Amino acid sequence: MMHRTQNHWRKYLKRKKGFTSSVKGVSHLSRRAKRRLYCKLQLWMWRKRREKCRFWILRAKKRACGIKSGSCLGVKSQKNKSKVVSSPGCDTGGSEDTLTRLKQCETVSLSEMFFASRPPQNRVVDTTVSAGNVSMPTPTSQKPETLTQLGEIKDSLRHTVKPLLSRDSDAHGLTTQLKKTRTLAERLEVDAPSGQLTAVPPGQDQPGLRAAVDRITSKKSASSQSDVSPKALTKDIHEFLDDFYRSYGSFIPLQKSDVLKHLKRRFNADFIDRKNVIFPEVTKYRAAIIQKPVPSFRVVYKKHTLTLDDLSTLADQNWLNDQVMNMYGELIMDSAHHKVHFLNSFFHRQLMTKGYDGVKRWTKQVDLFSKNLLLVPIHLEVHWCLVTADSVKKKICIYDSQGNAIQKVARNILKYVMTEAKEKKQTAFESGWTVSFDEKVPQQTNENDCGVFVLEYSRCLALGKPLHFSQKDIPKIRKRIYKELCDCKLHEQG
């Protein structure tokens, strides 16, 4: 009986020793061992409540060191090495998953503590991302104090691990880990050719972050589009087209971009992906509105009056008439703060038929030599061109969209300017003028857009903008001029 008792005691000690050596690895526990383990776990929880005050002090120290609260690892000073204790009922796979998650959490926590401990100007690291796991960053340049502090934190984490109490707490820790991984990824800029990540200091603009913000904005825009019902979208399109038709008298200046811009302002979303729904609806409703009787439409600005027939000359490839030319010249003078004078389109014809005496009264209330630039549109039966007189450089210049150097027209304007200077007793402008022809101006490729070219020449020269347009831009320019005439002002863009 005595021998049997001793053998039983030896087996118990051997079994206990084997149990403690296999806690960190794969554990095959009996019910008795699991109950014993559960009692130890209850004892550990009681001690944890007892040391709560010490835990809060330690947590304050962690915050002072730059470690975020709520981390999935707990740094805890203990005299003896702590053990990773499996939850009751855990099998082999559960233990391995727990250890894997602990390692991942340790890696992310070390990365965050590394970023927190470094100054913003030295936060440039090389990091590798693979299969949802972020490896420990390797600093390219850092101070010895930072390395020492990081080593201490790493050692403390290596010797002390906060046990996971249950599967629920394990899942919560994994969720926290994923959130921190996303937060860390948002603070990194991807370098596609090198496959590396670069930490972005707070407040510094980086292309990677801008791309990320654009992706987030596009996702929000897509969600906003999904929130807009087809009925609400159709109703808003109809209201926009009604207002547009009342404001401009026709749909001649309407562009597809106008509809998209309105919907973007209205719903704060980009509807490019729904063009196949929007544009057919616009076409259908436009046809319905045009069939209705149209009230008389007029635009009145100072002494100029435009009817719908006048504005219709801006449609397609129609020839512009004098009313459109003269009113747009008035808008140019107002936008140039009256440092530019635009002579009436009938001026040159009157000058040719009646001479200087026939146009003498046209500038009775205007001092041409106080202006920086004089714009004279010339209509030659079936063609428009522009002649300018620069009073600063004393230069007469011809702008023709067909490349014709009409010297006779330039000499007529030169003779008029010199006679006007003599009549107004401006002796400084009676001589010294030169005549030139600009061959590098944009040219037309058809026989119908010469008037639009003259207006665009005048606009650019009056506002001091370069002549950067071509024949392919003329359809948009026609629509913009139509809107500017109806709005009675030049638009800043376009």
**Mean pLDDT value of segment 377-392:** 92
Q: At residue 73, does pLDDT exceed 60?
A: no
Residue 160's pLDDT is 43
Sequence-separated (6 or more) residues with CB below 8 Å from residue 51: none
Give the residue, 216 or 335, on which the prediction is more confident.
335
DSSP letters, 238-253, are: HHHHHHHHHHHSSSTT
What percent helix, strand, coil does the chain show, rounded to 5?
Answer: 55, 10, 35
Q: At residue 241, does pLDDT exceed 70?
A: yes
Residue 372's pLDDT is 93
The mean-pLDDT minimum among 206-215, 246-255, 278-287 falls in 206-215
Q: Residue 304 and residue 308: Cα distance in Å, rounded?
A: 13
Residue 155's pLDDT is 54
Q: At residue 364, does pLDDT exceed 60?
A: yes
Residue 22's pLDDT is 47
User: Which among 170, 310, 400, 449 is annotated as catalytic?
Assistant: 400
Per-residue pLDDT band for 4 (boundaries 50, 70, 90) equals low
Q: Residue 339 and residue 352: Cα distance in Å, rounded?
A: 26
Q: Tell me, yes or no, if the pTM score tops 0.75.
A: no
- Concerning whether 400 is annotated as a catalytic residue, the answer is yes
Nearest to 88 by CA among 163, 13, 14, 162: 163
Residue 113's pLDDT is 43
- Integer-rounded Cα radius of gyration of the chain: 41
Asked whether the beta carbons of 351 and 412 are under 8 A apart, the reply is yes
**Mean pLDDT value of segment 461-484:** 95
Q: What percent of the chain has pLDDT over 90?
A: 40
**Mean pLDDT value of segment 73-83:** 41
Give the residue, 387 or 10, on which the prediction is more confident.
387
Q: At residue 148, does pLDDT exceed 60?
A: no
Give the residue, 148 or 210, on which the prediction is more confident.
210
- Concerning whether 450 is annotated as a catalytic residue, the answer is yes
Q: Residue 323 and residue 43: Cα distance in Å, rounded?
A: 97
Average pLDDT value over all residues in the chain: 73
Structural domains of the chain ordered from first start: 27-204 (no CATH), 208-290 (no CATH), 298-487 (3.40.395.10)
User: Which among 90, 450, 460, 486 is annotated as catalytic?
Assistant: 450
Q: At residue 55, does pLDDT exceed 90?
A: no
User: Which among 238, 258, 322, 383 is annotated as catalytic?
Assistant: 383
Q: How many helices (H) and strands (E) does the chain have?
A: 17, 13
Q: At residue 348, does pLDDT exceed 60?
A: yes
**pLDDT tens by residue, 199-228:** 444 444 455 556 655 665 555 555 555 578
- Concerning whether 383 is annotated as a catalytic residue, the answer is yes
Residue 66's pLDDT is 56
**Mean pLDDT value of segment 290-312:** 88
Q: At residue 329, does pLDDT exceed 50?
A: yes
Q: At residue 312, does pLDDT exceed 60?
A: yes
Residue 49's pLDDT is 78
**pLDDT tens by residue, 409-468:** 999 999 999 999 999 899 999 889 999 988 789 999 999 999 999 999 999 999 999 999
Residue 17's pLDDT is 55
Distance of CA 320 to the CA centre of its chain: 39
Q: What percent of the chain has pLDDT over 70?
A: 60
Largest CA distance in the chain: 147
Residues β-bridged to residue 385:
378
Residue 473's pLDDT is 95
Phi-psi region of 270 (alpha: psi -120 to 50; beta: other; left: phi over 0): beta
Residue 272's pLDDT is 84
Q: At residue 191, does pLDDT exceed 50?
A: no
Q: Give the DSSP H or E segment for 186.
A: helix 167-186
**Mean pLDDT value of segment 56-81:** 54
Residue 381's pLDDT is 82
**Mean pLDDT value of segment 100-122:** 44
